[in-house]
Homo-oligomer: A and B are copies of this chain.
Amino acid sequence: MVSKNTQSRIDEILDVTEDHMRRGGFDAVSFRDIASAVGIKSSSVHYHFPHKSDLGKAVIERYAEEFIQALNSGDVAEDTVQVKIQRLGNAYVGALSDKGTICLGCILGAELSSLPADVSDAVQAFFDQLLAWTAAALGGDKDHLEQAEFIISSFQGAMVLSVTKKDPKILSRCADRLCNSYL
């Protein structure tokens, strides 16, 4: 049983870590930086997350849970395919405009081969959930899985391009193009 204060401190640590990680990847996170941003010592971060991979895994798992939950909020069963994919696009646009940082899955996916095994496993699990949700939204048979791969790819890539070109509208236009022209 964890006290209320402990949980909020853990949340603080995860918040700061996610922010750093979304800006510069896994290596951009250091125990010292996280600790000083939270207002504690690095050893206290180690107390909650013994190894750096524990920290990375916890962040990506929390991110995945929140992301999928956002997709399922509202009356999903009643929505048309277009509305569902628009909802997916909104989740991406929201993630970008929220803090001006890209999707955690995207940056960690890009550097997957240099991540600790637990972290890369969690990243792969995130993409599996995302693909499964999208394929189900499209209908659910085999071609829909491949279509889901294409849609997720486009969103992920558009997010990187938006940040690189410093133009968030690239992602919005990508979402519109997927919904209006492609589907």
Q: How many copies does the complex hold?
A: 2
Cβ contacts under 8 Å, A158 to chain B: 149-150, 153, 157
* B25 and A164 within 8 A (CB): no
| Residue in B closest to A102 when the chains form the complex, CB atoms | B110
Report the minimal beta-carbon distance from A22 to chain B, rounded to whole angstroms. 9
A144 at the interface (CB under 8 A from B): no
A154 at the interface (CB under 8 A from B): yes
* A110 and B153 within 8 A (CB): no
| Residue in B closest to A124 when the chains form the complex, CB atoms | B164
Q: How far is the CA of A74 from the CA of B16 in the complex (A)?
A: 50
The 8 Å CB contact of A163, one of B23, B102, B113, B165, is B113
Cβ contacts under 8 Å, A102 to chain B: 110
A123 at the interface (CB under 8 A from B): yes
Sort A-B residue pairs by CB-CB distance and give the 8 closest, nearest first: A157-B157, A24-B114, A153-B157, A156-B157, A27-B27, A153-B158, A109-B164, A107-B110
Q: Point out residues on A near B: beta carbons under 8 Å.
A: 23-25, 27-28, 101-102, 106-107, 109-114, 123-124, 127, 146, 149-150, 152-158, 160-161, 163-165, 170, 173-174, 177, 182
What are 24 of the A-B contact pairs (CB < 8 Å)? A23-B113, A24-B111, A25-B25, A25-B27, A25-B114, A27-B28, A106-B160, A107-B111, A109-B160, A112-B164, A113-B163, A124-B164, A124-B165, A127-B161, A127-B165, A146-B173, A149-B161, A149-B173, A150-B154, A150-B158, A153-B158, A153-B160, A153-B161, A156-B157
Q: With A150-B158, A156-B156 given, name 14 new contacts (CB 8 A).
A: A23-B113, A24-B114, A27-B28, A106-B157, A109-B160, A109-B164, A113-B163, A149-B170, A149-B173, A150-B177, A153-B154, A153-B174, A154-B157, A182-B182
